[in-house]
Copies of this chain bind each other. A is one copy, B any other.
Amino acid sequence: MKAYEIRDRFGLQQLTLTERPAPPCGHGQVRIRVKAVSLNYRDYLVVQGEYNPRQRLPLIPVSDGVGEVVETGPGVEGIRVGERVAGSFVQGWLAGPMPARAGATTLGSPLDGMLAEEVVLPETGVIAPPDHLTDIEAATLPCAALTAWSALFVHGRLGPGQTVLLEGTGGVSLFALQFALLAGARVIITSKSDEKLEKAAGLGAHHTINYRQTPDWGKAVQALTGGSAAGVDLVIEVGGAETLPQALRAVRVGGTICLIGILSGNRVELPLTSILMRGVRVQGLLVGSREGFEAMNRAIASHQIRPVVDRVFPFEQAGEAFSYLASGRHFGKVCIAVGD
């Protein structure tokens, strides 16, 4: 079977389409013929060697994918050949709080990912996506959607009448926008592009802020949420170094900042009193559990939510897909169709 690999050295230009022997399907495992994958910025960092300096090579990249089960190993009881499944991002996180070793069990790094014609995963590591989604749409869920879900509902407990601040219009933010609206919350979203902000407003965002035009957007958020309890209940923090100081201004007393990404850098000097004196919670978050995936799927199915897909590349153009993702021009998920 064909698979993309990073072999000896990192870098997008090193990404190579190769022929690998089909992996054996052992006890409790299922073989999946991959139909579609979606890219996250994390996948790009992995390929570039910027995600985990200790990553061993060769590696099949890309955490998110969906496919058809074509073989079930002995002991598999809950899945049958022909079913459609998605991979679970943190293979070793079934339910409850994040296990200590969760980070060692994530797809696409350090474990091999989904950018291949076939993958073999344990039965506990796959999950049926909602029926109404196309394969491409279903492939967008494992990382970005579940991260948004966990941030809003597992850690943030967002509900009607509350307000959430979303940074940028990347994958997590767009899912968070769709989910927050479902839950009756108000959404403030930022971007440097008025065009993307218009699209976000078209999807239902209540307020948009161009952070190029309004560099002190934390203050702008306070103004938008004015009154005695100024500030948002929840920030989905994807920016990291450049955005977190503004996020600390934007959040209300006692509010939560879910730290899920560091797009603009890892290291930042923070004023700790703004956390301490205002009782703010900064909650790190690594995607979520299988249990959360199932709860999310019920919500997606119940409301027939459709993920926003920007563009689908053919399997042969995986490199172009990564380049397009890295360009930041997309609004919605960048996907790759695999197989026929």
Q: Which residues of A contact B (CB under 8 A)?
A: 26-28, 74-75, 94-103, 153, 157, 159-162, 179, 182-184, 186, 228-230, 240-241, 244, 252-254, 259-262, 266-273, 275-286, 289, 291, 295-303
> Is the CB–CB distance between B186 and A183 below 8 Å?
no
In the complex, how many angstroms separate the beta carbon of A116 from the nearest chain B beta carbon? 23
Decide: B228 and A101 in contact? CB cutoff 8 A: yes
A271 B266 Cβ-Cβ under 8 A: yes
Given that A159-B153, A276-B285 are contacting pairs, would A253 and B102 also be in contact in the complex, using a CB cutoff of 8 Å?
Answer: yes
Instruction: Name which residue of chain B comes closest to A284, CB basis.
Output: B275
A98 touches B279 (CB 8 A): yes
Contacts of A283 in B (CB 8 A): 279, 281-282
A103's closest neighbor in chain B, by CB?
B277
19 other A-B residue contacts (CB within 8 Å) besides A94-B94, A102-B253, A159-B159: A26-B75, A94-B95, A100-B228, A100-B252, A101-B228, A103-B253, A160-B183, A160-B303, A161-B299, A161-B301, A260-B276, A262-B272, A267-B271, A268-B270, A270-B270, A278-B284, A280-B284, A281-B283, A282-B282
User: Roughly how many angstroms separate A330 CA and B266 CA in the complex, as a whole number?
Assistant: 39
A275 to B259, CA, bound (A): 8
By beta carbon, the residue of chain B nearest A297 is: B161
Least CB distance from A290 to B in Å reads 10
CB distance from A40 to the nearest CB of B (A): 14
Q: Which of A179, A183, A267 has the most CB of B within 10 A?
A: A183
Query: In the complex, A162 Cα to B184 Cα: how many Å?
Result: 14
CB contacts (< 8 Å) of A298 on chain B: these are 161-162
CB distance from A203 to the nearest CB of B (A): 16
**B267 and A270 within 8 A (CB):** yes
Given contacts A97-B254, A157-B157, A228-B101, contact A286 B282 (CB under 8 A): no
* A256 nearest CB across to chain B (Å): 9
Q: Is the CB of B75 within 8 A of A27?
A: yes
